[in-house]
Structure 1
């Protein structure tokens, strides 16, 4: 029997590319999205089953999982990919905007995972792959809300993996650094349109905009392919490895974060984000 993966947020970006990649490898794919009318980025394949799932709607989560199991017979892997970035100055973001960021990036992934775990427990196997970010390990300026949601996702996944090991279930994290190369960057702008402009921050915004412009230019040209391949590796390598960081653009900062002293790391990132 072919293995089956359920992927959230497959209308575009990493989600659509991952769905197509798994299908090309012979997997059954339950491709979920908020609006199934936006499935134009998915290949027309008999082993891709498109169904509606909004991570902020528990009923739609339960329904999508049930429909996927009914269609293919089982689920072996869940990829919690649905998410977006609230990008802007913290002080300018409303409490409602921050709540929505966590509802999608954290509580949505938790609700999908909670809903599929009884199925995984019954078959004594399963893999949960949570799409984090380099910003799940590093706090980025103008992305403090997004970073904090991904920090939460990583902390939860790391703790969860211990609980599930005895049941034959594995939890893993993907840390892309190349999100700027997908339509995700456009959503970051769209989601931030309602943020209040506070003029005191304008000099900082101008300076950090130049920094991010340079970082975007240095992003891996093949970031999407690298991330998709890392997701597939996490699903198929048979290990309990926790983190996969597939793109080169984020690796120097991750290396500094995880392998240098706090003083060295702060000096390194200050030089990137606070240099004049």
Structure 2
């Protein structure tokens, strides 16, 4: 059976992706900072491993323990819901360490084995904010835009050895706890001059958006991994697909 390694599987997108591939009969390596199996019941085709994508040692251990893999999904990410003035530079660097450098490090770790077999798929989970900008997400958007550029260039390099690199771009997904987790992890408040504007904007956004579900993202990742001719950018969720079309892209 083919094997997939997924980062950030404790909840949300990563959990749904793992469940989708398990249901389809794949061998799944579900990784997370702190392993837990209360949402992914033990089974023969599932392995849960600890992984911190900002640690070279942790990456090396997880990749070696996983053995040969056919697909890598870089889903682990950190959010930052704040305007630039309210963002500490140390926290900005922390976000880039996970969202950009973590994905690069994981990709770099699995490329040799994929290149040796001349096959494999790397899927990076980005965001629709790289298509349609939103306020209070400037730093987060920058990290995902960097991930996009990295993936598009990587795809040209990897294709030399039969390896595919793809992007999945989810829309807004409040059910994953993104905003709450972003505030808790980064520990920052929106500065007073911006707070009313941001609060009003987010309220309006929540009332008028058809949100993306974890299942939408899992479906998009499944397509990216299993369809040989899938486009390099795949929007996930109705709001992301709408933004994609409005930007002049096809969602086919």
Question: Given the alignment, which residue of 63, 66, 69 partners 1:65?
Answer: 63
* 1:185 alignment partner in structure 2: 179
- Is 1:206 the equivalent of 2:196? yes
Native 8 Å contact 1:105 1:153 kept in 2:
yes
* 1:136 alignment partner in structure 2: 130
* 1:48 alignment partner in structure 2: 46
- Is 1:6 the equivalent of 2:9? no
Post-superposition CA distance 1:54-108 (Å, at most 9, x none): 0010111111011011xxxx20000000002111111111110000010000000
Q: Distance in 2 between matches of 1:76 and 1:228?
A: 17
* 2:31 alignment partner in structure 1: 32
Structure 1 residue 240, shift from structure 2 partner: 5.1
Report matched runs for 1:31-180 at 5 Å: 31-36=30-35, 38-69=36-67, 74-180=68-174
CA separation of 1:22/1:217 partners in 2, compared to 1, >3 Å: closer, same or farther? Answer: farther
Native 8 Å contact 1:181 1:219 kept in 2:
no
Native 8 Å contact 1:23 1:45 kept in 2:
no
Question: Given the alignment, which residue of 213, 237, 243 partners 1:223?
Answer: 213
Structure 1 residue 188, shift from structure 2 partner: 1.8
Native 8 Å contact 2:211 2:237 kept in 1:
no
- TM-score, normalised to structure 2, is 0.93
Question: Is the partner of 2:101 in helix, strand or coil?
Answer: helix
* 2:234 alignment partner in structure 1: 244
Structure 1 residue 253, shift from structure 2 partner: 3.1
Structure 1 residue 232, shift from structure 2 partner: 0.7
Structure 1 residue 225, shift from structure 2 partner: 1.3
Give the number of the structure with larger relative contact order, counting CA–CA contacts within 8 Å between residues 6 or more apart. 2
Q: Distance in 1 between matches of 2:48 and 2:24?
A: 17
Q: Distance in 1 between matches of 2:12 and 2:23?
A: 17
Pick the structure with greater CA Rg: 1
Structure 1 residue 152, shift from structure 2 partner: 0.2
Alpha carbon RMSD of aligned pairs, Å? 1.7
Post-superposition CA distance 1:184-206 (Å, at most 9, x none): 232122134234x53322xxx32
Native 8 Å contact 2:86 2:188 kept in 1:
no
Alignment size in residue pairs:
249
Unaligned runs of 5+ in 2: none
Q: Distance in 1 between matches of 2:193 and 2:201?
A: 19
Unaligned runs of 5+ in 1: 260-276
